[in-house]
Copies of this chain bind each other. A is one copy, B any other.
Amino acid sequence: MARLLPCPVARALDFAGDPWSILILRDAHLGFTRFQEFRKSLRIAPTVLTRRLTALHKDGLLEKRLYSERPPREEYVLTDAGRDFVPVLMILGAWAHRNCGSNLARYVDAETSTKIEPVAVDAVTGARLGSRPIRMAAVHDAA
């Protein structure tokens, strides 16, 4: 199937198919921007972090911003495509909440502190995804 139709899941994994990349995006959503912040949060080897940040920048999920002129120092902030990744993280986390035990951190609204219950639905019908059988189709085959 992946050979007949370009699969969106496979395509997404070209960008974020690595656990470190996904955890860097998670930390970026939580407000981290600087190399040392990511390094400490993730306990990741500097060489690996450099490689992942470079890839996320090249792929357009992070952009560089100068935060110091002298010495020149850059930080990493999410692009629109990077910010758009937050629903993926939350749906992935919600799966863990349902299937991997109850002691995991929760998502809460940063302003109201109310608990968030991430669910995936079809915007057209409102049906929960996973409640009906699906298939993949080329763009022109879909109604």
A58: CB under 8 A from chain B?
Answer: no
Within 8 A of B (CB), among A74-128: 81, 83-125, 128
Least distance between A19 CB and chain B CB atoms (Å): 4
Contact of A116 among B93, B99, B122 (CB under 8 A): B122
Least distance between A49 CB and chain B CB atoms (Å): 14
Q: Given A22-B17, A87-B95, A118-B122, decide whether A141 and B108 contact each other with a Cβ distance below 8 A.
A: yes
Residues of the B chain whose Cβ atoms lie less than 8 Å from the Cβ of A64: none
Which interface residue of A81, A92, A110 has the most chain B CB atoms within 10 A?
A92
**Beta-carbon contact of B92 and A110 below 8 Å:** no
**Top 8 A-B pairs ranked by shortest CB distance?**
A8-B93, A87-B120, A5-B105, A17-B19, A110-B133, A8-B96, A117-B123, A115-B142
